[in-house]
Structure formats: C-alpha cells, structure tokens
A and B are shown apart, each in its own frame.
Chain A
Amino acid sequence: MIEIKNLRKSYNGHEALKGISFAIQKGEFYGLLGPNGAGKTTTISIMSSILKPDSGEVIIDGMNLDTHPGQAKQLIGVVPQEIALYGDLTASENLHFWGGLYGVSNSELKKRSEEVLHLFGFYDRRNDNVKTYSGGMKRRINIAAALLHQPKILFMDEPTVGIDPQSRNLIFEVIEKLHKEGMTIVYTTHYMEEAERFCDRIGIIDNGQIIAEGTLKELKSNSALKEVVVVTYDHANESQLKEISAKWPDSNLSENKISFYATDVQSALSGIISGSGQMGADISNIEIQRTNLETIFLSLTGKQLRD
C-alpha cells in the first residue's frame, strides 16, 4: 500500500533524513517510534506530499507521489502534529470545511460529520467555536477533520501529545475501531506504550535513520536483550544461594539477591521459583524486568526515548 524508498532530506545543511525506507501493507498499523527531532514529522510531511525530499520516492497504492500527487492525496488523511483548525469556526463548520477540500458532497458531509461528531463525543458542542474547546477536545477534532473523506490511509503525527487520559482513551478507541475496519495507518509517537499497544509493526527512528524494524516480537528477539528476574531471599544462607545461582546458566548473586537472565522470563519464571523452593530458600520479593521498546531503544542508541 505504501512504499518509501531511501528518503533523504536536509534543512540548510542539517541532514534530517538520512535514507529512510520502509513498506506498509494494506490494513497494517505501522508505528514510527522515535525521540524528539528524530525525523518523524519530516517523513510524514514527505509522505503527504507537502515537502519535497532531496532524493528517494514515495509510492502510494501503486502511484508515485511525485507524479500523481492529486490522486494519492485523495487516498490519504493526515492528522498534523499541531492542532490545525480555525478557532473562530465551530466544530461542525471546521469539519465541513476540511472535508469539503476533498470534494465530498454537502449531503455526504452532513451525514459523515454527524457520525464523526458522535464518534468523538462532542456532538453536543458541535456549534461552539473551536477556540472555546479544551486541549483534549481540540485534539479530537484535529483527528476527526482528517476522516471526513473516508481515507484509505491515515497518517497520524503524535496525535495524543499533551492531553487528558479521558480524551486519550477515547482517541485510542477510535483508532482501534478504524484499524479494525481495515484502514492503513501510519502512527508516529515517542510513547512506547502506544506503539506496543496498537502497532502491527514498528519502525524505530533516530537521527534520521530507521535503526530497527519489525513486530514487537521480532524487535525483542533481534535485540538479543536478556530479560531479568531479580529474586530477593529471606533467611537464606550464602551457600544455599550460591547453589541456586550455580544451577542457572546465566545468573548473578549479590548479597541476598540473585539476578536471573533469560531471553523470555515468562517461561523461565516457574523454573526459578521451583528451583528456589527445592533448596528451601524463602523468596521475599520477585522483580521482573522485561524487554520493551524503551530498553530496546536504550540498547540501540544508548539514550532514553524520552528526555
């Protein structure tokens, strides 16, 4: 459905994209996860044809974006990172305006905007000026405005930045609904929870490069990161603990704590507990450190996803 080939883009000498490539299947939910300034927005801007890349190409549904921008744009809905709405127009008016740009007929617009207003839970306030809305509500309309022409592809650039949990959950529900209905979605974020929750596949982007890509599972196994179970023991003597530790191929004893390393702690956990029981050591606490996107990102770049 979407094919990105070797995109490069510099802003006055600063290379923001250093050759980005990825492909997205129809109906897939693709996440671009990366810290501030990684190049997410730049990539989305190029994919939505408002920014020309220095080199590389974008194919949308078999059409080259450079040669068929109009047709490709018609398929795409874009939710910009900043709230881009007319504050002095009402929610209804905004939806009509933005939908109208895509050539949706007035009667269709009326029907669809009512649907969308209900979907995002501000039907009651549809006739209020958008500038009177809370930040979370503005975020919701910002998304709603991209849906009126029923795009096959939806680009969402950090759509949940800085909002209340209630709005966030509502947005999540809508996004999941759209995904279920078969929409192809590209979602940028620097929240790893969001990427883990929705994305079929994730591209980790840093410094203008995709540094890892795949399903969450693939990312985990490729990362070769070990997960850790840290067990704290009560009333155990040192030789007991040494024995337990020695039985486990990859472990580490310090005072009354043993760290067990495994590629998948889930399956290792029962063995660790039963092994400790056999030795008669009382467990007072178990701490599990699983591999997640955060630790993967950390291991790949040596820095935190969020500062």
Chain B
Amino acid sequence: MIRLALKDLKLFLKDRRSMLMTFAIPIALISLFAFAFGGVGKGNEETKISMQISDLDNTTLSKDAVNIFTTLKNVDAKVVPIESAQDAIKKGKESNVLVIHKGFADSLSDGGELPLELQYDEAKEIEVGLLQQSLIPKVATIPFSLGNPKAMMASRFEKMTENSSPELKENIQHQSDNLFESLSKGIAENSTTQDPSSAFFGNEVKMTKLVAAKKDNGLGLIQAVAGTAVMMLLFSVVGIGMSLLEEKQEGTLKRLLYAPMNPLKILFGKMISANIISIIQLIVMFLFAALVFGLEINNHVTGLLLTIIATAFACSAFGVFLASFAKTRQQVQGLSTLIILVMSAIGGSMIPIFFMPSLMQKAAVLSVNYWSIQGFFDILWRNLSIFSTTFLSRILVLVLIGVILNSLAVFMFKRNILKMS
C-alpha cells in the first residue's frame, strides 16, 4: 500500500502540470488576494480612497478643517473647486466631494451643527461607505480641535433639555461642565483620533447623492453574475480553443488538411463555434440570474446583448489565441488556468474593483474581465444608454481585444499548428 502511495507521489512530483495546479496557482492567488484585500482592513498607504474637498466657507477655521481632513489615514484628499469636483463625479472619475458650506466657522464658534455635506455617486456607494468610516469620527473631533466645544456641549444640552424644569436644566448644565472638564483633560492627556466624544456628539455629515443610480438591480447581484459569468466563460472558451490542439494530437487536424479548403477555415470554424457557445453560455447565465435571483434585465435587453456579444467575441478570441500559441494541450491547461485566475482576480471577477488598491485598479484594465464587467455595470447598474460614450468605449475595447487576439491567433496558427507533418 505504501508502495502504491509512493508511486503516486513520485508520479505527482514528475508531473509539472499538477505541481503548477497544486502550488504555483494557489500561491499566486493568495498573493493577489492578500495584496487586494490586505490594504482594505489595515488602511495602509496603498488603499487610499480618493476624496475631493470643496471649501465654500473659506475662513481660517474652514482651512484648518481642510488640513485635518487631508491627514485622514486612508484617504487621499485634495481641494477642488465645487464645480469641477461635481463634474468629476458626474463623469465617473471621482466618487465624492466633501463640501464645507458657508457658515462652517460660525457654527464651530457657537457650537451649532456643522454644515458639512458629502456629495457622492451612488454607483460607488461601497467606496463611499469606506470613506464614511474614516470621515465621521474625524468630523466628530473637529469641535474639540478647532471650535468651542464647551459652547457646543452647552447648546446641545440646551436642546436636549428644552422641555425640562429649570432646576433640571441647571443641574445638567453643571454636570456637563464637569464632564467637559474631564473629557478635555482625557483628550489632552491621550490625544487619539478616535475620540470618545464622537459617539456622544454624533456630529454628522449630510449625505447627498449627486448621481443617483436608478436601482433596478442590487450591486452585489450584478457583481456576482457578471464577475462569475466572465470568469467561467474564459474557462470554457479555453476548452474550445484546446480542442484545436486535441485535434492536432488526435490526427483529425491533419485529416482536415487533406481536404480541398483553406486551412484557415479550420481556425475560423473554431472561432465561430467558440463565439456561439460563449453567447449561449452568457445568455443562460443572465437568464438564470433573472429567473432565480430576480436580476432585472427586461429594460436592458439591447445593452445586455451588446455586452454579451462583445464579451463573447473577446473571450473566444482569448481561448483560440491561447491554443494557437501552445504546442500541446497540456501546455495550455496549466498556463490558461493561471492566466484566467489572475485576470479574474485583477479584473474584478472575484473581488469588486473598488476594494482593490489603486495600483491593482490600474492593472485591471489589462484584463478582459474588467471591460466586460464594467460594461454589464454600465447597463444594469448605472443605467447608461447604449449610446453613451462610457458604455461604447467598453464595447470598443472588448471588440479591439477580440480583433487583436484573433489576428494573433491566425498568425500563430499558420506558424505553429500548420507546421506539422
């Protein structure tokens, strides 16, 4: 029995492909995910969320506030005039702007509500949510660091005790003075950013959707469907591409060459079948999501089909291209798994793009997944028209990817596959 096990281990060690599957690919993926997720929890340099700040108050105090916000740990803040900030959000370049309205300084001095407003793009609510997490505690400390906290506390208690008896009011005011003394003492002694007062004061930022998404569909559902669909599609088209190598190894490719036709037709035949199967596969996946999970597609049929066709075109080209590059089926198998998993990881099939460090977000454009998934978001989430430049540019990129990979496949097919005896 041990002998048998030893034989298996020996064979396993000799098989480079299974070694790749067992070690190299998991290691590569763990590294990618660690890189992608690691930043989010830890809040290190790389995961900075971009925040625009527009200072409409333009006072010494508001400028001090801006300085405080720019030191926010996970946030990459920059001061921008309100018009261009809002423009950037509408164009989808930025997700938010923190507006410091007129009267900020006054409110600070008399302890009133701070006129802060975060305007944002609803389509990026996850990113904005992350921003809120760092922003709100900071805002709560502003009265302490810049304003007149005593006055503010007093005004708050005033409000809270409006309808109480004068004795009680007095009592509470007195208590509050004591509390303030000890609090500020605590803060002075132990100046952390996370201030205990924040919970108490609950100084809030007004949230305003600058660009509201008409919510036909949940963000998570689209992410799940589009992300998975594209990744699985890549796996299946590689299978189709590999059938070309299988035909080479089985001898049927040679037999096809005996027939009186242009050999390139063999490749074109594969491309066509890959496209048809891909389109059907994507349609089935989206129909499934519609029927079972209630994905709303009725209003988006044209755009969805367009994205599906462009995705199928790009992905099939990828499959055929990979196959034309390799000499044997075994070669493609290991390599393609690695490439697909990496592309899916950086392209947003596994983790939503906005969770990733900015470096990885930039790398995402190198993957087919990115363009395709963004296309699906454009249609199903952002409700873009199929004539909008944003959407059309994604389709164009997908088509270009397809054209380039198909051309390379033709070139490699002539060089690699046909060169046989």
B263 → chain A closest CB, angstroms: 9
Q: Is A73 a contact partner of B251 (Cβ separation < 8 A)?
A: no
Residues 62 to 77 of chain A near chain B (Cβ within 8 Å)? 69-71, 73-74, 76
Residue B257 at the A interface, CB < 8 A? yes
Q: Is B260 a contact partner of A71 (Cβ separation < 8 A)?
A: yes
Q: Is B421 a contact partner of A102 (Cβ separation < 8 A)?
A: no
Residue of B nearest to A102 (CB): B259
Which residues on B sit within 8 Å (CB–CB) of A224? none
A151 → chain B closest CB, angstroms: 10
Q: Please provide the 3 A-B residue pairs with the shortest distance between their CB atoms, ordered closest to farther.
A: A101-B259, A84-B251, A73-B260
Q: Is B252 a contact partner of A101 (Cβ separation < 8 A)?
A: no
Q: A83 to B255: give the CA distance in the assembly, Å.
A: 10
Residue A98 at the B interface, CB < 8 A? yes
A21 → chain B closest CB, angstroms: 20
Residues 82 to 110 of chain A near chain B (Cβ within 8 Å)? 82-86, 98, 101-103
Which residues on B sit within 8 Å (CB–CB) of A74? 260
Residue A51 at the B interface, CB < 8 A? yes
Please name 19 further chain A to chain B contacts, defined as beta carbons within 8 Å, in addition to the given A42-B421, A48-B258, A84-B255, sorted by A numbering: A49-B258, A69-B260, A70-B261, A73-B260, A74-B260, A78-B255, A78-B258, A80-B254, A80-B255, A84-B252, A84-B254, A101-B256, A101-B259, A101-B260, A101-B261, A102-B259, A102-B260, A103-B260, A145-B255
Residue A45 at the B interface, CB < 8 A? yes
Q: A141 to B258: give the CA distance in the assembly, Å.
A: 16
Q: Mark B242-253, 1 if CB is under 8 A from A, else 0.
A: 000000001110
Q: A258 to B335: give the CA distance in the assembly, Å.
A: 72
Q: A210 to B347: give the CA distance in the assembly, Å.
A: 60
Residues of A in contact (CB 8 Å), total 26
Residue of B nearest to A69 (CB): B260
Q: Is B258 a contact partner of A73 (Cβ separation < 8 A)?
A: yes
Which residues on A sit within 8 Å (CB–CB) of B260? 69-71, 73-74, 101-103
Q: Mark A29-49, 1 if CB is under 8 A from B, else 0.
A: 000000000000110010011
Q: A73 to B258: give the CA distance in the assembly, Å.
A: 7
User: What are 23 residue pairs bridging A and B, where the CB atoms are less than 8 Å apart in the complex?
Assistant: A41-B421, A45-B421, A49-B258, A50-B254, A50-B257, A50-B258, A70-B261, A71-B260, A73-B258, A73-B260, A74-B260, A78-B258, A80-B251, A80-B255, A82-B251, A84-B251, A84-B252, A84-B254, A86-B252, A98-B255, A101-B259, A101-B261, A103-B260
Given A78-B258, A101-B261, A102-B260: A51 and B421 interface contact (C-beta under 8 Å): yes
Which residues on A sit within 8 Å (CB–CB) of B257? 50
B265 → chain A closest CB, angstroms: 10
Residues 318 to 334 of chain B near chain A (Cβ within 8 Å)? none
Which residues on A sit within 8 Å (CB–CB) of B261? 70, 101
Residue of B nearest to A50 (CB): B257
Q: Mark A97-130, 1 if CB is under 8 A from B, else 0.
A: 0100111000000000000000000000000000
Q: Mark B303-322, 1 if CB is under 8 A from A, else 0.
A: 00000000000000000000
Which residues on B sit within 8 Å (CB–CB) of A102? 259-260
Q: A70 to B250: give the CA distance in the assembly, Å.
A: 24
Q: A103 to B252: give the CA distance in the assembly, Å.
A: 18
Q: Is A73 a contact partner of B259 (Cβ separation < 8 A)?
A: yes
Given A11-B421, A42-B421, A101-B261: A85 and B252 interface contact (C-beta under 8 Å): yes
Which residues on B sit within 8 Å (CB–CB) of A86? 252
Residue of B nearest to A77 (CB): B258
Q: A101 to B257: give the CA distance in the assembly, Å.
A: 10
Q: A74 to B250: give the CA distance in the assembly, Å.
A: 23
B85 → chain A closest CB, angstroms: 61
